[in-house]
Structure 1
Amino acid sequence: MQAFTPFEAVAGGVLIGFAAVLLMLAAGRIAGISGIISGLLPSSDMGSDDTGWRLAFVVGLISGPMLMRLLGWPLPDIAIEASVPVIVVAGVLVGFGARTGSGCTSGHGVCGLARGSRRSLVATVTFMLTAAAVVFVVRHGIGG
């Protein structure tokens, strides 16, 4: 487990909040990553006028860490201990959950809670309780 780094945690939170507010002010849209990405898919019923800001948002998500690295900030080491099939199944389940819950943790947890949405409160509590239960089962049940 890595040491707690309060400066980086606060800076990251401020940047995420700023991005969410900026997207809401500039485009009137919620910064929910699953919705942004699904709007880029060919089967989406979104209009083509949405493509520009959606692509810019996704490019920003990807290029941000690269820019930080170029500026000399160290990036954390990432170690994925799960097998590829487990990762694929987990991704499908998360996608299904985001679709069923009409949004993901960024849309409900960051934007919805900030707007005082009761639906987002229920969704976020459900996400967090489910995540805690899964970690408990994996670490102390089937994995432990």
Structure 2
Amino acid sequence: MDTTFPDLRQYGGADAFLQACKPRTVLDIFTNKWTGLVLGALLDGPRRFNELRRMLDGITQKMLSQTLRTLERDGLIVRTVYPTIPPRVDYELNELGRSVVGVLRSIGEWAGEHADEVIAARQAYDERAKEPVKPV
């Protein structure tokens, strides 16, 4: 089997192509489009659920709940419940969550710099896909 990357398993290293690879399971956190947006929304400090929902245009209540639960489970945010009536719940980044912010900022900057190129590439691809298949 020819691969682009060397097989690091023989040296005791990780292989992100393997399903059970620890770094791969962590990378799975960021495959959800809402994860980065929720983390970004928490950059300026704690926020309540409805505040996050208003900020994140297009997110459903169910998806926001699921994303917050996942981020809490993964140790990136803290959920604090205050004993008031009705109960007040705040979500905020913890130290681990703040440590990933630089990476997310870089991705966001890249997306901003290259959005026009990506959109143009998509449009060109879609136009080519409409054409009949030509033999080589």
Structure 1-normalised TM-score? 0.27
Of Structure 1 and Structure 2, the greater strand share is in 2
Structure number with higher helix proportion: 1
- Larger relative contact order (CA 8 Å, sep ≥ 6): 1
Instruction: Give the structure-2-normalised TM-score.
Output: 0.28
Bigger-Rg structure (1/2) = 2
